[in-house]
Structure 1
């Protein structure tokens, strides 16, 4: 049986939108695209890469909403697998693992090993968790996260908390998010000033 693990770059005020670059998710005229990338460029000496590689070495499948899938397919889906360091390692990994996508509008997926889930998302994801041995990783996909949380299907929240307050943007836990009772499994400060908190279902 697998475990569904959400990973997110998140600010102190709960924003998860557009951390990877200015064009990643500019919806709602979000003005701070690339905030996580900018912080890492200024504060990270590269020593934190081993943590991400360790996490992603356990990824046996990806679970993505349509917007996140589109972003990833345009990046990890086309980047060079032979690139040095973290980029090449993750590109190889993400190309090979199955990617399960939730969408009401998309009918075809171009990125290799990508599969559309049916309309009953909670049942489909519960089936995947029974069938896949290992971690099923969610990145981003705030609407999907809310749906799965309502069905009590998220086993772990891995949050990389950046010491930033943006004051605007999509939040991981907006008003109306399903009630959750979590247990703090671990906390770890990184050299960049980011705090890694891991929570599991209580």
Structure 2
């Protein structure tokens, strides 16, 4: 079995993925727009999000997202919580996080090897949020599907999916875009090997 790694990110039109779910989710660097996703309760996109969550059999999270999830999901009692609380959780951190959420373990320092080993244990591994950690996965092309749910709002600041200095890489569109009635667009990409190419645009 070779599992697949899915990166799932809610972003603004200008690529900000910080704290979409709540005002106090991630206020680091004095981010003032926590909860910016709330005005877009899009049923079309929500159905797609749930489809992915319902099929996952492991969560792979960065330290900050893990702490947020661990403080929230064990106290919830709906279908998303049921999945998150049931499946194994893996945390990528150089520190010593408190792993009180049942089913959690910490990855070691050889991240590339550890993530590849997760593919041998699970079929559908989802990375949700975890913007800082995602930079490593994108750089190493340690993913199979990158899903961006792009919302019609410009924030102008915050942690971005592709910040200044992001590693150059090619991606390929895996399926046509889906647009919900509130203007949220789902874009789904896969990694594409090779260096970024340049040239001249001809008339």
Q: Tell me the TM-score normalized by structure 1.
A: 0.89
1:113-128 equivalences under 5 Å are 113-128=103-118
SS in 2 for 1:145: helix
Q: 1:26 to 1:179 in 2, by over 3 A?
A: same
Deviation at 1:154, TM superposition (A): 1.2
8 Å CA contact retained: 2:19, 2:35 = yes
Aligned to 2:14: 13
Q: Is residue 25 of structure 1 aligned with residue 15 of structure 2?
A: no
Moved more, 66-75 or 50-59: 50-59
1:53 aligns with: 50
Mapped pair 1:158 → 2:147: yes
Find the residue that maps to 2:189 and give its secondary structure. Answer: strand
> Are 1:72 and 2:69 counterparts?
yes
Q: Matches of residues 136-151 of structure 1 in structure 2 within 5 Å?
A: 136-151=125-140
Kept in 2: contact 1:48–1:191 (CA 8 A): no
> Does the aligned pair in 1 maintain the 2:63–2:97 contact within 8 Å?
no
Give yes or no for contact 1:183–1:201 (8 Å, CA) kept in 2: yes
Q: Across the two proteins, how many residue pairs are aligned to each other?
A: 190
Asked if residue 103 in structure 1 is aligned to residue 93 in structure 2, the reply is yes
CA shift in 2, pair 1:112/1:147, >3 Å: same
Q: Does structure 2 retain, via aligned residues, the 8 Å contact 1:157–1:199?
A: yes
Question: 2:35 aligns to what?
Answer: 34
Task: Find out whether 1:190 has 2:187 as its counterpart.
Answer: no
Separation (CA, whole Å) in 2 of partners of 1:60 and 1:26: 30
Supply the distance in 1 between the matched residues of 2:151 and 2:96 (Cα, whole angstroms): 33
SS at match of 1:36: coil
Unaligned stretches of 5+ residues in structure 1: 82-87
Deviation at 1:194, TM superposition (A): 0.3
TM-score where L is the length of structure 2: 0.89
Higher alpha-carbon Rg = 2
Conserved? CA contact 1:122–1:147, under 8 Å: no
Q: Per the alignment, do residues 15 and 107 of structure 1 end up closer, same or farther by CA in structure 2, a change over 3 Å counting?
A: closer
Shift of 1:76: 1.2
Distance 1:200 1:90 in 2: 25
CA–CA distance in structure 2, aligned partners of residues 194 and 107 of structure 1: 34
